[in-house]
Amino acid sequence: MTGDSIPAGIDSTIVERTIDSGFPLLMFPRRLEAAFEGEGAAERCRKLAIGGLFGIVLYNLFLISDRLTAPDTFHIAVWLRLGVVTPIALLLIAALYLNPPVAVRELIVAGGAVILGAGSNFYLMLVAHGQHHDAQHQVIILILLFVTMVERVRFWYAVAACLGCFAIHATALAMLPAYPLQYQISSNAVFGCAVVLSIFASYVLEREMRMNFLLSLRGRLQRRDLDLETRRDPLTGLLNRRSLDEVIEACNQSKSAGLELAIVLLDIDRFKSFNDTAGHQAGDVCLKRVAGIIQSELRDYVDAAFRFGGEEFILVLRGIDLATAVRISERIRRAIEDAAIPHPALPLGEVVTVSMGVASAVVSREIRVGVIIAAADTALYAAKRNGRNQVSPRLPTADIVEMPDRKLRSK
């Protein structure tokens, strides 16, 4: 997903509502949550894996402490750290490169840190009878920092990991006869404070991350809306000449070779006299009604309508031959006539009509879109010369093509 892309199904309403809510539980609505986790998921897995490798290196450096504080059980520490924990951790890190689902990804990091890191230190504390244990249970505090500050595991998984570390720490001290109850209470209180601070840091960091994501989405949506405004005619809401130029350029690209393209030019009959009689404000209303009818008769995401001039429109219909394009144009012409928009410059009862010129061809190096537009323009003038309110060329069986589900289907 690119930096300016907008996830499907996300709009300004859901983004603004979520920002206003403050998302105190660090959870978004379902679609927004999926977008948050899906955006940059592969990159997050990569960073978690790098952090995991860094953690393994630090974890094994504590062999120095094991050698100095518990030389009698050093061989056990070497076997456990290098022979058991490190290979398993490397397998878990390798699994991250498979870009697993969110829950699996976070459990790999949080669960791996607690079970392998804190669990192995707990075991070494138990086997080192009568020897110094301070270094071992202090290491568990570092695991809190690793989970919440280095890997930045998602908040609720971090809470579980921190509570798991606290349980291991308290259990380890309780099982060691060298630690009296008052020392256990004091040590667990300090460790508990470290847990609280780590959880608080995790909350703040993730909330900031989520807010940055929402603000980024807001910015992307605003840029998209601004970009759409520059590509749409402000009066009719249809695409403008700038958008038409971009579509023409795209269709002329070599990758579009072999694309059958139909061009329809549509002109409102006697529109100048409409404006002169009723005024430009009424003329604008007429243009908007005609544009709305045109847009409603096109296929979503396939066809496009543009305001080409004052009262002239151009339709770009992809993958449609001439006969089908004429039938669609005839349907649009009838829909505009059936709308019965009164024409003030004509006798009472006369309504606004349109003339349409149609052309279709397969785009190639020899036949560019401009050639098809020129052919449609010639057909439009033929329709006007022949009496207006018609589609040119005329086909013997120009049946209307109905598209209630936006799929072509002959009536």
Q: What is the pLDDT of residue 184?
A: 85
Q: Tell me which long-range contacts 169-178 makes (C-beta under 8 A, separation of at least 24).
A: 169/118, 169/137, 169/140, 171/122, 172/122, 172/125, 172/126, 172/133, 172/136, 172/137, 173/137, 175/126, 176/125, 176/126, 176/133, 178/130, 178/133
DSSP letter for 342, please. B
> For 39-49, how does the pLDDT look when each residue is reduced to its tens digit (9 = 90+)?
889 999 999 99
**CA dist., res. 317 & res. 268, Å (int):** 20
> For 101-119, how does the pLDDT look when each residue is reduced to its tens digit (9 = 90+)?
999 999 999 999 999 998 9
**CA dist., res. 336 & res. 290, Å (int):** 7
Q: What is the pLDDT of residue 265?
A: 96
The domains found in the chain, sorted by start residue, are 12-223 (no CATH), 241-410 (3.30.70.270)
Q: What is the pLDDT of residue 132?
A: 55
Q: What is the pLDDT of residue 404?
A: 45
The pair of structure tokens assigned to 102 is: 């969110």
CA dihedral 169, 175, 181, 184 (to 10 degrees): -20
Q: Is the peptide bond before 393 cis (omega within 30 degrees of 0)?
A: yes
Q: What is the pLDDT of residue 254?
A: 58
Q: Are strands 354-362 and 391-392 parallel, antiparallel or unpaired?
A: parallel
On average, the pLDDT of the chain sits at: 88
Q: Identify whether 311 is a catalytic site residue.
A: yes
Residues of the chain with pLDDT under 50: 398, 400, 403-411
Catalytic pick among 43, 311, 337, 366: 311
Q: What is the pLDDT of residue 323?
A: 93
